[in-house]
Amino acid sequence: MISGSLVRSTIEIGRQISLAKGIAEEQQKISLGTRLLRASDDPAAAVKVESLRKGIDGLSVIQRNIGQASSMASLAESNLATAQTILDQAMESIQAVVTGTASDSNRATAAQAIRQMAADLRALSAAKGPTGEDLFPEGTPISIPLGATSSPATIARAQAFTAEVNGQSLSIDAVLDQAADALTDPSASPRDRAAFLDFVRDGSQRMAEDRSALGAIGLGLERLSAATADREIWFKARLGEVMDTNIAESVSRITSGQVTLQAAQAVYARLGQSSLFDLLR
């Protein structure tokens, strides 16, 4: 009889410990805002949570890459705008001194200014991006991975900073240097000097087209960013549906558990007060 009572007592203590543990876990779920404290709580839901979290992480990476690509495209477009302004100034300088009436002194002054413009263009073409990479690379344009696809973030230097000179592509800074040489060359005719207006104009036109291309890239990235943000919201909403605590249900389970525990403790307390004689009867 004593042995049986001890067994029943041990079982009852274990039951009360289990009830208390269940109450504590429900309280923890409310505190943390999640109904899954461990994968074993709901294995199927845990698998879904892991999948949704991977999706959210992947979208976060894409958003960061979109930001990087947008920053590079914007900076490249800004540099080309500056370069195009320089070319417009170069054409004005050439136009002012190509006539036969221009003095040698005026042509020399214009040539000096144009050589400085050429140096400024070389600096712009060698500009660096936000993370130190060439903004206008010598080879293939920079492409940013965006999940299963990728997007160009800028354009190649040979595309952005070149002009057509007598059927040959030359860097636009080299064209300006040649224009400056022609202005100071006594043997160059006004027609030879004026030809550089068309060469520089060709380079400016190319830059205008490249700026439009960069603007289209930026617009596409903005749209992709908005779509990615919407998908991220959807994933987080689904994650919330799986993980978030139903407070009303948890409070109900806590209340029910507390009532059951209190009743069990009261019964156990009365049994504990029984005499040895009562247990032997």
User: For each successive 10 residues of the chain (281 residues), what is the average pLDDT?
Assistant: 58 62 57 55 73 89 90 92 95 88 90 96 92 87 80 87 88 95 91 91 92 91 91 84 58 57 61 50 49
Q: Return the pLDDT at 7.
A: 59
Q: Are residues 147 and 117 in the same domain?
A: yes
Q: How many residues does the chain have?
A: 281
Residues 182 and 175 sit within 8 Å (Cβ to Cβ): no
Q: Are residues 180 and 70 in the same domain?
A: yes
Q: Return the pLDDT at 145.
A: 83
Q: What angle do CA 101, 107, 112 make, to 5 degrees?
A: 170
Calpha distance 150→59 (Å, rounded): 14
Calpha distance 263→84 (Å, rounded): 85
Q: What range does the domain containing 9 cover?
A: 2-35+245-280
User: What percent of the chain is helix, strand and coil (3-state, nearest 5)?
Assistant: 75, 5, 15
Q: Is 41 domain-assigned?
A: no
Q: Are residues 254 and 154 in the same domain?
A: no
C-alpha dihedral, 235 to 240 to 242 to 245, nearest 10°? 170
Q: Are residues 138 and 211 in the same domain?
A: yes
Calpha distance 229→224 (Å, rounded): 8
Q: Are residues 6 and 139 in the same domain?
A: no
Q: Are residues 128 and 20 in the same domain?
A: no
Calpha distance 59→2 (Å, rounded): 65
Q: Are residues 14 and 108 in the same domain?
A: no
Q: Are residues 124 and 253 in the same domain?
A: no
**The CATH number of the domain where 204 resides is what?**
1.20.1330.10
Q: Is 66 domain-assigned?
A: yes
| Tokens describing residue 147 | 């999940």
Q: Is the pTM of this model over 0.75?
A: no
Residues 132 and 75 sit within 8 Å (Cβ to Cβ): no
Residues 231 and 87 sit within 8 Å (Cβ to Cβ): no
Q: Return the pLDDT at 279.
A: 46
Domain count along the chain: 2
The 10s digit of each residue's pLDDT in 94-110 is 999 987 778 889 999 99
Q: Are residues 205 and 251 in the same domain?
A: no
One-character DSSP codes across 115-168: HHHHHHHHHHHT-B-TTSSBSS-SSSPPEEEETTEEEE-S--HHHHSEEEETTE
Q: Are residues 216 and 170 in the same domain?
A: yes
Owner of token pair 């596409």: 220
Q: Are residues 132 and 269 in the same domain?
A: no
